[in-house]
Amino acid sequence: MAAARRALRERAPIRRALLAALALAAAGPAFARPEACREIPPGANLQQAVDAAPPGSSLCLAPGDYAGPVRIATPLTLEGPRDAVIRSSGEGTTVRLEGEGGGLLGVTIDGSGGRYDLLDGAVHVTGRGGRVEGVLVRNAVFGILVERATNATVRGNHVLGGAGQTLGLRGDGIRLWETYDSTIEDNRLEDSRDVVLWYASRNRVAGNRIERGRYGAHLMYSHDNQLVGNRFIGNVTGLFVMYSRDVEIRDNVFADSGGAAGMGLGVKESGNLRVIRNLFVHNTIGVYVDTSPLWPDDRNRFEGNLFRLNGIAVSFLGRASGNEFRGNGFRDSQVQVQVDGRGDAREALWRGNEFDDYAGYDLAGDGTGDVPYELRSLTSDLVAESPALAFFRGTPAFALAEAIGRIVPLFEPRLVLSDPEPRMARVAWEGPGAD
Amino acid sequence: MSKRHSNWLRCAGPALALASLLGCGPGGDQALQPTAAEGPSASVAALMKERGLSEADVNAALKTYMPTGKKDDYYIFSSGGQSGQVLVIGIPSMRILKYISVFTPEPWQGWGFGDQGSEAVLAGGDRRGMKMRWGDTHHPNLSETNGDYDGQFLFIGDKANARMAVINLTDFSTTQIVANPILESDHGAAFVTPNTEYVIEGSQYPAPLGGAYAPIEEYNEKYRGAITLWKFDRASGRIKPEESFAIEAPPYMQDLADAGKLDSDGWAFVNSFNTERAHGGNLEGQPPLESGASQNDMDYLHVVNWKKAEELYKAGKTVAINGFPVIPLETAAAEGVLTFVPEPKSPHGADVTPDGKYVVVGGKLDTHATVYDFAKIKALIEAKDYVGKDPYGVPILDFQKSIKGQVELGLGPLHTVFDDKGNAYTSMFVESKIAKWSLSEMKLIEKLPVHYNIGHIAAAHGDTVKPQGHWVVAMNKWAIDRFADVGPLLPQNFQLVDVSGPNMQLVYDLPIPLGEPHYTQIVKADRIKAIDHYSPVGSNSFSHEKDPNAVDGGQERIERRDDGVHVYMTQVRSHFTPDIIRVKQGETVHLHMTNLEQAKDATHGFGISSYNIALSLEPGEHDNVTFQADHAGVFPFYCLEFCSALHLEMAGYLIVEPAAPKVAETQKRTGGRS
């Protein structure tokens, strides 16, 4: 218990750092305003103005209300300040950006229709190279949908989801479907359902803050994507990567996915992931690895990540082979590594990781422990077969069982993993916003 | 501290000594605790150590092990997938009890290797004049009386060829196959109404109905799905196609179905996916079908008023498509037969709760199970309170107004079954887990890892009005590392889970090595009233009456008639009478064979070399075979079942005398020597 309290205290600086980073992001990024544009006064018929504008031109909105929906079928840029508000009629999608290279910049989109089955949303981008930047979305079922729009840019937007709704009744904040070579950057999403990348490859998802959603981000059949410097806070699942290969996951924060299905990063049947310098803090499971990688020569590399205060830092379903853990820090988790289904994690490669329960020494003074770190567990065996026993994690009763397991060689405590070169020094996390 | 915690502490504490081992673990039973530290407990402990077993393993073994002669408490009737068959498995032992041959010929049961009865059943499933001899069985459904299994019949659909089979559970034998005259594939099959008035068969992949042609560019206009209601006549044990009909549906991919019960009796619920109407074309600039089909956020739960549909059918408000009566889509929409409610995309199960008040739907890519409230749906339909219509005019209800709520379960909820304590068990495909949750509290209780990629889930009477609890079976699509290596094609993995205690316990892994099973149903063993022989002797196994060609002992004979040679043969341990059959090349041979035995398990098989004939004559059974003796030669026949000590001697000869040979052929055969 004391350990838990201490751990909670230590969590505070991380929280503060995150908040500081958030404040920075909220200031709003600058986007290139159109050089020349036609002013459209509030209350004007926006659709008529759009239809009348020559392709390639820009329309500027002023503070005030504009009636949606509006469909922009040509390469046209619609720009305005945050208090220029395009309001939903209560039906359908509010702004459709269909022209190649069209843009929607700076304005607020208020509302959408209520039909989930029709994907009623604030903004729907289908034009190649479409840009949605600096937009505030509120009261809409879906936020920003990008479908079959290569080279799209979604940057610096703020999507407010349905905080009053249960998770299942909210729409996606940002959704990329069959979308390639696009940039999703510096957006802030609150209380929306998912950020979705489906059948969407070679995209860059960077610097976003995604909180209190269902899937912070969900990748399915989406390869060669980069997820860098994002903050996934308080989502049911931070990031779930499914049936995808060659994904870079670097410098992200995965925090507070603490529910029954809570996991920072979940990996299902995916390979060649590079999971580097992320912070996994206060999740039910930090990283969940489900039969990954699946292709024989694929490797998933976990390097320099810091696991703090997770129920289970790393959990495998089935075999652990093909996964490599180098230089990660494992601290203050109730279980370091667990394997469901009777396996162990010895087939994974473990080198130079820091474990807070390492009881060895470094007489050689080379920064590496002189004896291997070995994680043995009787209790995880029991827990794997009788999940109710998870109740005892971290309690004296459980520690007692562990101790008895060690003393009475009735069942030899199972070797879960061995790191022949345990790291003595603490792994520092140097991602954005951390001290 | 609850009892189970204190129990665990007792086990985990200093009392963790050999003598108490068997009394510990989940569901630990004090009675199992040995009285002395010596004896069995010591040997058990040694065994445990030697085999690396934990106390939970021993506990699981004790729950499932069946000593010889002891019989199982439940039957599992499982789809046999691409094998086209049905598997029968016992619980708790998980011993495979039988494969029932259905759509695919199978020689042990003499299914489709000459016997006229089985050939006729198989021919019932032929399509467009083509001999169909495989099937992809998906969802078995037991016949029901008042919403609970009555153990009399089993129905199973063939997804690949849109066919429905009826299995008689007195002799575990398929008695009828009907080919759907308007569909090319099905998936929502079979699902029975609460008194087995109808067997529901819903389509899967849209196509022009009735086998017509239309270019795929006319997908939206010409392609359709349908929900077929096959009329079942319990007295004759047969589907009556002439009293059956279908309801036309839009070209979405209709998926699993369930019939309403109690409060929702008279209704049926059918899932769908691909309301996007994607139809592929990935070499033609379109997204692949799978991607196109998951573009939208929601699909439509089809709410079907089948009682109303029956009225329309009886009133003649149908059109004939390929001779089959179909209620047109516009009629179904206008008359309230078909209504849509949005559902989370790519759903799988549409599972009616035991009280019939709710329908649970999982979305494969969702994290919630959605619980629809039938009373709300009914009220909205009655008030015509729609939010819109689909492109085909089918009214759509408001999602939020139609549901009781959503329960957060985890990743990829799929299919839900129920126990006797108000709990639901949902398979979680993405997460490879079973989620147990409370229906009344709409709250997750516990999750159990399974291995791997669980598809369907089944519970004892778990989809009826009276679930029995105790056992749940996880049907896992992948086995990966669970069994000894057998090459790249791996078996599926059925995992038996004991849900009788406060915590779920995984107790057995059963590889399924022939076909990929889909759904199963679990029925209490005492509901099955199986016969162990056919009576009277000479019974036809399809009519269960004495066959007109039955042969009584002493009446064996060979008769030559205009239509060929009739051989009236009997089998009894251990001889065939007659045991020599002489015919001339080119003659038609009619074998009429009766197994005179009435003794349990005294089955005789009958196989003739080179003529592709294999029969199973169970005690008292009569079979008829007709074939052309086209090949001259000497063909041994013998009993295929080891029937007695003189089984090997149970044999005979088919002597086919050559037709008058041409001179040239004689020379060729004798190598020119004379």
* Contact of A316 with A345, CB cutoff 8 Å: yes
* Whether A64 contacts chain B with CB within 8 A: no
Q: Let me know how long chain A is.
A: 435
By DSSP bridging, strand A279-281 and strand A306-308 are parallel
Suggest the residue from A112, A116, A243 to mutate for an interface test with chain B (most B CBs closer than 10 A).
Answer: A116
Q: What is the pLDDT of residues A111-150, one digit of tens each?
A: 999 888 889 999 999 989 999 999 999 999 999 999 998 9
CB pairs under 8 A between A and B: 146
* Whether B480 contacts chain A with CB within 8 A: yes
Say which residue, B262 or A405, is predicted with more confidence: B262
User: For residue B662, what are the contacts with CB-CB under 8 A and spacing of at least 6?
Assistant: none
Q: Which residues of A touch B276 (CB under 8 A)?
A: none
Inform me whether the pLDDT recorded for B171 exceeds 60. Answer: yes
CA distance A263 to chain B (A): 10
Q: How far apart are CA B493 and CA B506, in angstroms?
A: 12
Burial of B316 (0-12, 13-18, 19+ CB in 10 A): exposed
SS3 per residue for chain A: CHHHHHHHHHHHHHHHHHHHHHHHHHCCCCCCCCCCCEEECCCCCHHHHHHHCCCCCEEEECCEEEECCEEECCCCEEECCCCEEEECCCCCCCEEECCCCCEEECCEEECCCCCCCCCCEEEEECCCCCEEECCEEECCCEEEEEECCCCCEEECCEEECCCCCCHHHCCCCEEEECCCCCEEECCEEECCCCEEEECCCCCEEECCEEECCCEEEEEECCCCCEEECCEEECCCEEEEEECCECCEEECCEEECCCCCCCEEEEEECCECCEEECCEEECCCEEEEEECCCCCCCCCEEEECCEEECCCEEEEEECCCCCEEEECCEEECCCEEEEEECCCCCCCCEEECCEECCCCCCCCCCCCECCCCEEEEECHHHHHHHCHHHHHHCCCHHHHHHHHHHHHCCCCCCEEEEEECCCECCCCCCCCCCCC
Q: Which residues of A touch B14 (CB under 8 A)?
A: 404
Q: Which of A178, A242, A387 sits opposite B446 (nearest CB)?
A: A387
**Could you write out the DSSP letters of every residue in B615-668?**
EEE-TTEEEEEEEE--S-EEEEEE-SS--STTGGG-EEEEEEEPP---HHHHHH
Question: CB–CB of B408 and A142 under 8 A?
Answer: no
Token couple for B249: 């549906």
CA distance A190 to chain B (A): 18
Structure confidence at residue B629 as a pLDDT band (50, 70, 90): very high
* Whether A396 contacts chain B with CB within 8 A: no
Q: How far apart are CA A347 and CA B394, in angstroms?
A: 55
Token couple for B334: 């206008």
Structure confidence at residue A169 as a pLDDT band (50, 70, 90): confident
* Whether B501 contacts chain A with CB within 8 A: no
Q: How far apart are CA A207 and CA A25, in angstroms?
A: 9
Report the pLDDT value the prediction gives residue A237, as an integer from 0 to 100: 93
Nearest to residue B491, comparing CAs of B507, B505, B475? B475
Helix (H, G, I), strand (E, B) or coil at B321: strand
What letter would DSSP give residue B462? T
Inform me whether the pLDDT recorded for A386 exceeds 80. Answer: no
Overall average pLDDT of the B355-362 stretch:
97
Q: Within 13 Å and on the Cβ side, how many CA atoms surround B253?
A: 21
CA distance B192 to chain A (A): 29
Overall average pLDDT of the B376-397 stretch:
97
Helices (H), ranges, B324-370? 329-334
Q: Tell me which residue has tokens 């390097």.
A: A303
Question: CB–CB of B481 and A172 under 8 A?
Answer: no
Q: Which residues of A touch B452 (CB under 8 A)?
A: 290-291, 317-318
Inform me whether the pLDDT recorded for A220 exceeds 60. Answer: yes
Between A167-181, B87-101, B479-493, B529-543, the lowest mean confidence (pLDDT) is in A167-181
Question: Which residues 200-239 on chain A approach chain B with CB closer than 8 angstroms?
Answer: 214-215, 218, 220-221, 236-237
Nearest to residue B262, comparing CAs of B359, B358, B147? B147
Minimum CA–CA partner of A219 in chain B:
B365
Question: CB–CB of A381 and B365 under 8 A?
Answer: no
Suggest the residue from A192, A385, A412 to mutate for an interface test with chain B (most B CBs closer than 10 A).
Answer: A385
* Whether B410 contacts chain A with CB within 8 A: yes
Question: Which residues 325-354 on chain B approach chain A with CB closer than 8 angstroms?
Answer: 342, 344
Q: What is the pLDDT of residues B280-338, one digit of tens each?
A: 999 998 888 888 887 888 899 999 999 999 999 999 999 999 999 999 999 999 999 99
Q: What is the pLDDT of residues A57-95, one digit of tens each?
A: 999 999 999 999 999 999 999 999 999 999 999 999 999
Q: Which of A116, A221, A260 sits opposite B342 (nearest CB)?
A: A116
Question: CB–CB of A116 and B298 under 8 A?
Answer: yes
Q: How far apart are CA A228 and CA A277, in angstroms?
A: 10
Report the pLDDT value the prediction gives residue B10, as an integer from 0 to 100: 37
Q: How far apart are CA B578 and CA B379, in angstroms?
A: 71
How far is CA B236 from its chain centroid?
A: 21
* Whether B445 contacts chain A with CB within 8 A: no
Structure confidence at residue B55 as a pLDDT band (50, 70, 90): confident
Q: What is the pLDDT of residues A171-185, one digit of tens each?
A: 899 999 999 999 999
Nearest to residue A107, comparing CAs of A142, A48, A146, A63? A63
Instruction: For helices B3-12 and A396-407, give the axis angle rounded to 10 degrees.
Output: 30
Token couple for B402: 């139609």
Token couple for A403: 């101790």
By DSSP bridging, strand B413-418 and strand B267-273 are unpaired
Inform me whether the pLDDT recorded for A328 exceeds 60. Answer: yes
Rounded alpha-carbon distances, angstroms, from residue A6 to A2, A11, B505 = 6, 9, 35
Mean pLDDT of chain B: 91
Q: How far apart are CA B573 and CA B210, in angstroms?
A: 51
* Contact of A189 with A212, CB cutoff 8 Å: no
Minimum CA–CA partner of B447 in chain A:
A387
Q: Which residues of A touch B430 (CB under 8 A)?
A: 240, 242, 268
Residue B612: CB atoms within 10 Å: 12
* Whether A7 contacts chain B with CB within 8 A: no
Q: What is the pLDDT of residues B424-448, one digit of tens each?
A: 999 999 889 999 999 999 999 999 9
Question: CB–CB of B367 and A214 under 8 A?
Answer: yes
Residue B620: CB atoms within 10 Å: 24
Overall average pLDDT of the B81-109 stretch:
97
Minimum CA–CA partner of A242 in chain B:
B430
Q: Which of B295, B300, B506 sits opposite A177 (nearest CB)?
A: B295
What letter would DSSP give residue B130? B
Inform me whether the pLDDT recorded for B17 exceeds 60. Answer: no
Cis amide bond preceding B578, omega within 30 = yes
Residue type, A340: D
CA distance B453 to chain A (A): 10
Question: CB–CB of A115 and B388 under 8 A?
Answer: yes
Q: Tell me which residue has tokens 């108000």.
A: B422
Q: What is the pLDDT of residues B652-662, one digit of tens each?
A: 999 999 997 66
Inform me whether the pLDDT recorded for A12 exceeds 80. Answer: no
Overall average pLDDT of the B346-360 stretch:
94
Structure confidence at residue B649 as a pLDDT band (50, 70, 90): very high
Nearest to residue A147, comparing CAs of B196, B379, B294? B294
Question: CB–CB of A408 and B16 under 8 A?
Answer: yes
Token couple for B349: 């199960």
Rounded alpha-carbon distances, angstroms, from residue B217 to A326, B220, B223, B249, B252 = 54, 8, 10, 19, 15
Report the pLDDT value the prediction gives residue A385, as an integer from 0 to 100: 55
Report the pLDDT value the prediction gives residue B286, as an integer from 0 to 100: 85
Q: Which of A118, A319, A400 sits opposite B13 (nearest CB)?
A: A400
User: For residue B36, what are the contacts with CB-CB under 8 A and spacing of at least 6?
Assistant: B19
* Whether B32 contacts chain A with CB within 8 A: no
Q: How far apart are CA A44 and CA A38, in angstroms?
A: 12
Give B417's strand partners.
Answer: B425
Q: How far apart are CA B253 and CA B213, in angstroms?
A: 18
Produce one character per residue of A119-158: b if its CB has 16 or more CB atoms within 10 Å, e if not.
bbbbbbbbbbbbbbbbbbbbebbbbbbbbbbbbbbbbbbb
Inform me whether the pLDDT recorded for B672 exceeds 80. Answer: no
Cis amide bond preceding A293, omega within 30 = yes
Q: Which residues of A touch B49 (CB under 8 A)?
A: 411
Residue type, A250: R
Question: CB–CB of A391 and B4 under 8 A?
Answer: no
Q: How far apart are CA B464 and CA B261, in angstroms?
A: 8
Question: CB–CB of B287 and A343 under 8 A?
Answer: no
Question: CB–CB of A290 and B431 under 8 A?
Answer: yes
Minimum CA–CA partner of A243 in chain B:
B430
pLDDT > 70 in chain B, percent: 92
Report the pLDDT value the prediction gives residue A401, as an integer from 0 to 100: 58
Q: What is the pLDDT of residues A279-320, one digit of tens each?
A: 999 999 999 999 999 998 999 999 999 999 999 999 999 889
CA distance B69 to chain A (A): 30
* Whether B574 contacts chain A with CB within 8 A: no
Question: What was the ipTM of the complex prediction?
Answer: 0.78
Question: CB–CB of A259 and B300 under 8 A?
Answer: no
Question: CB–CB of B367 and A167 under 8 A?
Answer: yes
Rounded alpha-carbon distances, angstroms, from residue B505 to A117, A227, B433 = 39, 38, 12
